[in-house]
Amino acid sequence: MQDNKEKDMVLYHGYRVYRDGRVLSQRGKELKSYYFTYPNSHISLTIEGKVVKKNKALLVYNLFSDVPADTALNVLRFKDGDTANAAYDNLYLVSRKDHYRECKEQGRSSNRFDEKTKKKIRKEYYEKNMSLRALCGKYRCSLLSIQKIINQ
């Protein structure tokens, strides 16, 4: 029997998950990922009659890795920086401590927005009725970051 590293495809509740990041339905149609926490992050699967949202990259990583990702301790990152590329060879884990240190050094922490930008975000949300997802895309940040700013 081959180990997971040598397999190109794994069955997961009837879905075919490929090492290159593709997920195919039982009928062979590729599932399209959608914006949840960041662009192309999640897919919807029907498991035992219930629709379940799954992080596509995390699913691929866990199915092809010998050691599943413990997201309480680690953050799943993309080697090429492209969150749409969920290929197993493009994924790696970094400790949360190192991840937050790198984010802070690169100015990507949740506190990266100055008060002027935060005011602008609130104005666009409340007065211009811009959606949370649109704000995430415009300011290249997570949904949680936008929610924190709006709720201040």
pLDDT tens readout for residues 13-58: 999 999 999 999 999 999 988 776 676 788 999 999 999 999 999 9
CATH number of 9-105: 3.90.75.20
- How far from 50 is each of 33, 44, 45, 59, 89, CA to CA, in Å? 18, 10, 8, 17, 30
Would you state the structure tokens that stand for residue 17, as one six-digit string? 């998950």
Q: Encoding tokens for residue 139?
A: 């300011």
The pLDDT tens digits of the residues spanning 52-103 come to 999 999 999 999 998 888 888 888 889 998 888 999 999 999 988 888 788 7
Dmax of the chain from CA atoms?
A: 60
The residues spanned by each domain of the chain are 9-105, 115-150
Quote the radius of gyration of the chain (alpha carbons, Å): 18
Global pTM?
Answer: 0.70
